[in-house]
Amino acid sequence: MAALEGKIAWVTGAGTGIGQAAAVALAREGATVVLTGRRKEPLDETVAAIAKAGGKAVAKPGDMMKAEMVNRVVADIDKEFGRLDILVNNAGLNITERNWKQLTPEGLDTVVQGNLSSAFYCAMAVLPIMRRQRDGVLIHTSSWAGRWVSPLSGSAYNAAKHGVVAMSHGINMEECVNGIRSCVVCPGEVATPILDKRPVPVSQEDRAKMVQSEDCGDLIRYIACLPPHVCINEVVISPTWNRGYVAALQQPHVGASKK
C-alpha cells in the first residue's frame, strides 16, 4: 500500500515547476491531489499526466492572492472529500523591476501578496480542517532568499520569503498541540519558469546545473510521508554547483599579496 493512500493533498502553484513536480510525486505515493493555480490549461495537463500514470487528481483553478477565492477552494475540498491532510503552499512569483531604483508600490504589493499574503491565506484556510482531524502537514516553498538576503532576488522578494519562514515556525509553535506539522523548504536556484523573470537571462547550461523541480517534488513527497510524530521544521536545499559560491571563489581574496 502506498504511503499516502487515502490522503488528500492540496498543491498551489501546481501548473508548473515545483508545484507540478510535487503534485506528481504525491499522486504516485497514493494521495488524491487537488491542483490550484491561476491558469487552467497547465493544471489540466498535470491532471492528465497524473491520471495516465494511474493517479488521482482534480483541478480547482484560482488566484491565491485573493482570500475569498482561497476560502472557496478549501470549502470545496472539505465538501467533496471531508478532509485535507497535506497542503503544499507553493504559489509564488517575482518581478523583473526588483531593485530599489525600479521598485514601485504596485510591484511591491504584487510580490508581497503573491508570496506572503497568499501563503497566509492558504494556511489560515486549511488549519481549521486539520485541527478538526488533529492531524495534517503544511509544506511551504520559501527560498534561499528566505534565509540569506541577496540583491539577485530583490528586496521585496527577500522580505516576503523571510516572512514565509517566520510564518511556518509560528504555525509549529501554536499548532503542535493539535497534531499539526509545518515545514518550510528553502531552495537555492531551481530550474523553473520563474527564472524567466530574472533581469539577466539564465543560460540553459546554468539551468542544467541547478536543482530541478523533480528534486524538490521528491523532497516534498518525503516530508509528507513522515509519521505524525516527526516534524521537519525547515530544509535548505541548493545546487552543488552553487553560482553564488562559485562567484565568491572567483573574486580576489581579501589581503592576498599582489605579485
Which residue do the cell numbers 492528465 mark? 48
The single-letter DSSP state of residue 30 is: T
Quote helix, strand, coil % in the chain, to nearest 5: 50, 15, 35
User: For a pLDDT cut of 70, what percent of the chain falls above it?
Assistant: 97
Helices (H), ranges, the chain: 17-28, 40-52, 67-81, 105-112, 118-133, 155-175, 204-209, 213-225, 243-249
* 136-152 pLDDT tens trace: 999 999 999 999 998 98
Q: How far apart are CA 184 and CA 202, in angstroms?
A: 26
Grade residue 256 by pLDDT with cuts at 50, 70 and 90: low
Instruction: Please compute the mean of the pLDDT values over residues 65-74 and round it to a whole number.
Output: 98
pLDDT tens digits, 16-65: 999 999 999 999 999 999 999 999 999 999 999 999 999 999 999 999 99
CA 184 to CA 84: how far, in whole Å?
18
Query: In this predicted structure, what is the pLDDT of residue 257?
Result: 52
pLDDT tens per residue, range 214-252: 999 999 999 999 999 999 999 999 999 998 899 889 988
Distance between CA atoms of residues 101 and 19, nearest Å:
32
d(CA 75, CA 60): 11
Cell of 115: 508570496
Q: Which CATH superfamily is domain 8-249 in?
A: NAD(P)-binding Rossmann-like Domain (3.40.50.720)
Read off the amino acid at residue 57.
Answer: A
For 53-104, where are the alpha helices, taking DSSP H only?
67-81
pTM of the model: 0.93
Q: 32 near 11, Cβ under 8 Å? A: no
CA angle 139, 142, 148 (to 5 degrees): 140
Q: Virtual CA dihedral for 164, 165, 167, 171, nearest 10 degrees?
A: 140
CB 22 within 8 A of CB 16: no
Q: Any idea what DSSP says for residue 190?
A: B
**Which residues belong to the active site?**
157
What is the structure's pLDDT at 203? 87
pLDDT value, residue 259: 46
Taking CA atoms, 95 is separated from 103, 109, 140, 151, 182, in Å, by 9, 11, 20, 13, 27
